A and B are shown apart, each in its own frame.
Chain A
C-alpha cells in the first residue's frame, strides 16, 4: 500500500516537474535553429510562478464554467497522465483505466476548454472553440486506432501492461510495421492535440489564426497558469506515451531504487529527444492552412488503420 502511494506521488511529481521543462526545451531548440540565443530552459517555471502570483481578471459576462474550467482541465489531464507510464511500468493506477479512459479523460479537458472559449462571448474565443472542436473530433479516432494496433500485439488495452510486456519483449511480433504505422499516426495526433506547428502555432500573436491560444485569451493570473501548465502536461503525457509504448527500453520494470533511478534518467532523455524533434519540425514547416489540417489528420487515421490491418495480415 505504502509502495503504491509513494509511486503515485512520484509519478505525479515527475509529470508536474518535467512538463514545463519540455516546453522550455522546444522553445530553446527553435531559438537555436533561428540563430537566437533564446530564453533559459527554465523560463516556463518562472512564467508559471509569475502567473500564480498575479491577480486574475474575470469578465463579468462569464458563468461558473469559466472559473471551473482551469481546474477541470488541469485535473483531467493530470489524471490521464497517471495512466501513462513514465519512468516505471509498475503503474499504481493501472487498475483504474485503460486506453479508452485515457483518450476520454483528455477529451473531458478539451470539452470544457471549448465551452470556456465560448463562455466569455468574445469573438476570438468562439473561433478558437469551433476550430478546436474540428481538430479534436478528428484526432480522437486516429488516436484510438493507433493505440488499438499496439494493444492487439500485446493483448491488453492497459497502457502500462502494454509497456511492461514490450519492455520485457513478451509477445512482440517479428515484423514491426504495425508499430511503425501506429507511431507515425500517434505522432501526428500528438502534434495536433498539443497545438504545435503545423497544426497550430503556440508562438503567434495573431488572434485570427489561433486555435488553442484563442480559447485562453480571456484568462489571466492563476487560471492562465493552470491552463498553461495543463498544456505542458498534455505535451508530457503524449511524449511519455510515444516514448514508452514504442521504445520502452530502460524503463523500470521492477520496484527497486536502482531500476527507478535509471528509469527516471532514461525517461527524461527519451522525452527530451522527442521535444527536440518537435522543435526541429516546427522550424522546418510552415503552419498548414486551417482546412488542410483535416487532410493531415486523415493521413494519421489511415496510418493507424493500416497498422491494424498489418497486424492481422502478419498474424495469418
Chain B
C-alpha cells in the first residue's frame, strides 16, 4: 500500500462522512467534508501520530454569483510523506458562519481572521476576533474579496480604535514602535510591554500597506499576471513569479522544456544568494559589527550586478514567463557565472570564518531570540526560520519542482532556534546554492526555453503550486474564471506564517536585542500585507 492510500484510508475510516474527490495535483488528496466536521477532521490530521499534518494554507473563495456559496479550503502537509491533503467545504452565502479550528490548531489564527476581514465570514469560536487586515478606519461591511466589491472602489473612512492587549503592573511600560521607522524598512507596528529592558509581551500590528493584490489578480488574464506576482514582494521576484507560473502551467497543461526548468532553478538560487548575503551582513550590522556588513554588502552587490548583466534586471524581473523563461543563459555565460560565484564563495568562506570566530559577535547571536521546536511546530513555521528551529522542510527536496528532481539538495538544519542558528542556516544555504549552480552547469540540457500555451482552462478549475523561495515556502492557489481570466488567486508568502512566531521568539529577551531578532527572521511586510 502506498503512503497516499494509507493516509487516505486512515481518514475515510475515521470519518465515514467525507467524500474523496479528484486530487488537484500530484502527491495530493482532496476530500469534500461537511462544514461541521471540519474541526474534528483537522484536529485528527494535525495530531494523529502517523499523519502529523501541518496546516499549510487556509483560504476561502466567493462562488457567487454563479452559486450562492463560499468555499473554504484547508491544506495540510503530512509530516513524513510531504503529501498534501486538501479539505474543502462550503458555506451557504446567507449563512456567514463557519466553525473555527484555531482553538486546537494555533497556526490557523491569522488565516481565519484574514478570511473574516476579506469575505465577512465569521469563524465561530475564534478566540481573537479583532480586525487583522481590515484596519479599524475601514468602513464596517467592507470585505474586498467578495465578488460584489468593485476592485476600484474607494474606501470610506470611519473612526475606530484597535485594542491592544495590555499588561498592567508596577514598572510595566508599553513601548510602541513604528509603523514609521528611522531606517529604510517597511511599515509595521510593534508594541512591547516591558519591565525595565526585558520584554514581557510583543504584539504585532501589520497590514498598513494593503494593496489589494489578490483583488487585482482577479482583474487579470491568467497568462498576463506574472508582473503582478513579481511585485508581491520585491525581494522575492523570482520566487513569486515562478510559483504563479507553475500554477498557471498546471491549469493550462503546459509542459515546460527541461532547459527552462534548469534556468528557473538558476534564477531562484541567484535570488537566494543575494538575499542571504544581504541578510547575514545586515544581522552583523545590527550588532554594530560593520566589517562583516561591508563585505557581505559588497558580495550582494556583485551578485545583483551579475543578475543585471545576464538578465537585464538586478532583481531578476521579467525573466520568468508562463511556459518557461524569457532569457536564455548560454553555456559559456553559465561558466562565467560559476567562475564569479566560485570567487564569491571563497570570499564568503573567509568572512564566514571571521563571523563565526568572533567572540563578541557570537555572544550577541547565541541564545538571542530562541524559537523552540514546539512553538515552531505550533505555528507551522517554515523556511529559514523553521530550519533553524528543527523544522526539516525544504520543498526543493520534499516536493521537487523546476529542475530539483535532478538536483538533490542538502538541507541545512539546526535545532537551537536562536539568531546564530538562523545565520548559520543562511551561511550553509549560500554554499549549497553555489554548489547547485555548479551542478546545473554540468547537467543543463539544450533545447527551447519556453512553450506556448494552446489550451484554455475550464472556468472553476483550480490548482496549487509551491516553491521554496529564499524565505521559505511560497504558495499560490489559482482558480480559473471565464475567458482565461482569474477567478481567485490566493497568495501566501512565508512571511504571513512566520510573523506571529516572532512574538514568541522575543519573550524574555531585552529590548535592544529586538532589532537583531527581527533581522534574523527578516520577514517581508509587503508579502504579508498583500
Contacts and interface: CB of A to CB of B under 8 A. Distances in A.
Bound together: yes
A161 to B, nearest CB: 38
Nearest to A200: B288
A198 B288 CA distance: 8
Contact of B291 (A34, A203, A291): A34
A64 interface: no
Interface stretch (B303-311, B355-363, B481-489): B355-363
B510 A289 contact: yes
A36 interface: yes
A117 to B, nearest CB: 14
B294 interface: yes
A140 interface: no
Nearest to A30: B290
B503 to A, nearest CB: 16
A197 B288 contact: yes
A270 to B, nearest CB: 26
Of the candidates A34, A35, A208, A209, the one having the most CB atoms from chain B within 10 angstroms of its own CB is A208
A35 B360 contact: no
B511 A292 contact: no
Interface string B186-230: 000000000001000000000000000000000000000000000
Interface in A258-316: 282-292
Interface string B1-42: 000000000000000000000000000000000000000000
Contacts of B513: 289-290
B136 interface: no
Interface in A122-159: 123, 127
Given A35-B295, A123-B175, A208 B511 contact: yes
Given A123-B176, A289-B512, A290-B512, A282 B290 contact: yes
Contacts of A208: 177, 511-512, 514-515
A294 B286 CA distance: 20
A160 interface: no
Interface in A170-208: 197-198, 201, 203-208
Contacts of B363: 286, 288-289, 292
B295 to A, nearest CB: 7
Interface residues on A, range: 20 to 34
A291 B510 contact: yes
Contacts, number: 78
A289 B198 CA distance: 12
A116 B130 CA distance: 38
Contacts of A127: 175, 511
B294 A36 contact: yes
Of the candidates B295, B360, B512, B513, the one having the most CB atoms from chain A within 10 angstroms of its own CB is B512
Contacts of A123: 175-177
A208 B512 CA distance: 5
Contacts of A292: 363
B360 A198 contact: yes
A255 interface: no
A95 to B, nearest CB: 42
Nearest to B183: A205
Interface string B267-307: 00000000000000000101111110111001000000000
A201 B286 CA distance: 9
Nearest to B176: A123
Contacts of A209: 286, 512, 515
Contact of B360 (A33, A285, A291): A285
Contacts of B510: 289-291
A283 B287 CA distance: 11
B92 to A, nearest CB: 48
Contacts of B360: 198, 285-288
B340 to A, nearest CB: 18
Nearest to A123: B175
Interface string A29-43: 010011110000000
B364 interface: yes
Contacts of B177: 123, 207-208
Nearest to A290: B512
Return the 6 tightest CB-CB contacts between A and B, nearest first. A34-B294, A287-B288, A201-B288, A286-B287, A286-B289, A286-B361
Given A207-B182, A208-B515, 8 more contacts: A34-B290, A123-B175, A208-B177, A282-B290, A286-B287, A288-B363, A289-B512, A289-B513
16 contacts: A34-B291, A127-B175, A198-B288, A206-B286, A208-B177, A208-B514, A282-B290, A286-B284, A286-B288, A286-B360, A287-B288, A288-B360, A289-B364, A289-B512, A290-B197, A292-B363
